[in-house]
A and B are shown apart, each in its own frame.
Chain A
Amino acid sequence: MPDIVLRSNDGADHKISASTARLSRTVASLLQDLEASKGEDAELLIVPIPNVCNCTLKKVLDFCEQQRAFDDLVRASPAAQQPEVTRKTQAWRETYMKVSTDELYHLVMAAHYLDVPGLLGLCTDAMADHIRGKSPSQVRACFGLKPNLSPEEEDDIRRSNLWALS
């Protein structure tokens, strides 16, 4: 299978193997359509990814490659070593997810657009970590949101849910 090139919206190219690219369902379906119409062609494909910037695409491809490597490892290693492999994956993911909120936001959007299943779950978990244990104003500051609830509504929510917070 030939390699393909993913081009981010600021024009940077990333060359990866087609099997890695297929981890993204969006790219996979695109490749499938292409193969159906053209047949197997050996020339280098350039896939433009219009709403993902260079750094984010790099990060996503990082994940795809690592995920592929781990998948291969899991398939190759005997059953006794499986826990070891999963532990390694976990550790890698933890370091991978140490990013700022902005980066995380772009990563979520990219994962959603490219439809990388594992990555999306990982990102939403990390997002939930950002919200957990914070007051509403802290969450607003974290995500740069503007409060648009009226004081009465806010009071109403707080009062109707008082029982859970006591």
Chain B
Amino acid sequence: MESQDTLSLRDVRKLLADRLGAPQKAIDDEKKLIASLVDKAIQEHSCEKQASSNLTQQASNICLPPEIWSMIFQGLDLSSGIAAMQVCKSFYETISSSHLYWDPLVGDLMTARFLVPKDYFSKSTFTSFHKLVHDLMLCRDCGAFADWPAGQKICKQCCQGYDAVREGQRYMTKDTAKFVYKLRDSDLVKLRHMRAQNPIYPQFQPMQLYEKIGVRRLAIERWGSIDSMLQSMRPVKQLPTDRADALPKWAPSQLSS
């Protein structure tokens, strides 16, 4: 409401110039108007000044609700966040209790330090850092957080478990894929795979791990359905009946070649 009847100085001057030829009474009215306007402006100014001085007094003790603080801390990078933890107790509690940055996971970041570029810490925000840790530190297969040599993507237990097909596995080795789903190398070329160190003989070629879902989908595409896949055997060389018992029943290397 105030802003509507406040005239700028130029408007007042224009009004005055228009009324210069007018009778004395009109000019007096004008002067009164200007005086009241000036008074009002001064009053407003002092009111504002008073209000801002109030602000400085209150600022000696800034207390925001914790949910706002946690919103603020979200925008911080790691080192600033750690500096902020040392400011006071409430800061420390807010930051350390916020699951966003401090998972039990992030507690063991000594390992992550060797995996990420050194300047990463100064650039990243807490949240993106957390995401990166998830990517780097978790087993791609079982999702567990375990100790392993740097650069490996799969935990030890999963790594050693690929000689058999287990429940809940997300990956399988190339040999198993070829054996179980009766696929050839040329079929598997389409799929993306991951390489991991051979757990038994490190000097051997790395394992090639394929995602189970992908392999299964490929098999259905290749055979029509899982049932027809089970029924259709690869043509195995007909063996003389007396020698058939001597051979192992399932020899993956023979079947897949």
Contact = CB atoms under 8 A, between A and B. Distances in A.
Interface of A: 5, 10, 12-15, 53-55, 101-103, 105-106, 108-109, 112, 120-121, 124-125, 127-129, 131-136, 139-140, 143-149, 153-154, 157-158, 161, 163-165
Nearest to A127: B72
Interface in B58-113: 58-62, 64-65, 68, 71-80, 82-89, 91-92, 109-110, 113
Contacts of A131: 72-73, 76, 80, 83-84
A7 B87 CA distance: 37
Given A15-B1, A164-B78, A101 B48 contact: no
B231 interface: no
Contacts of B64: 105, 108-109, 112
Given A54-B51, A55-B51, A102-B58, A125 B86 contact: no
B238 interface: no
A124 B79 CA distance: 18
Contacts of A163: 109-110, 113
Given A13-B1, A54-B51, A163-B113, A124 B84 contact: no
B52 interface: yes
A82 to B, nearest CB: 25
B68 to A, nearest CB: 6
A105 B69 CA distance: 11
Say whether chain A's binding surface is mostly helix, strand, loop, or mixed.
helix
A143 B71 contact: no
Size class of the B contact interface (CB-based, 8 Å):
35 or more
B89 A148 contact: yes
B61 A125 contact: no
Contacts of A5: 1
B76 to A, nearest CB: 6
B55 interface: yes
A148 B59 contact: no
B148 interface: no
A14 B85 CA distance: 40
A149 B92 contact: yes
A141 to B, nearest CB: 10
21 contacts: A12-B47, A54-B48, A55-B51, A101-B59, A102-B59, A105-B59, A108-B64, A108-B68, A120-B68, A128-B72, A131-B72, A131-B76, A135-B83, A145-B62, A145-B87, A145-B91, A146-B88, A147-B88, A149-B86, A161-B85, A164-B78
Nearest to B67: A112
B205 interface: no
A136 B84 contact: yes
A164 B130 CA distance: 13
A157 B59 contact: no
Contacts of A148: 88-89
Ranked nearest first, the 10 interchain pairs of A and B with the lowest CB-CB distance are A128-B75, A102-B59, A136-B86, A124-B71, A102-B55, A127-B72, A144-B60, A161-B82, A143-B62, A124-B72
B59 A145 contact: no
B254 interface: no
A157 B86 contact: yes
B87 A133 contact: no
Given A140-B87, A164-B109, A120 B71 contact: yes
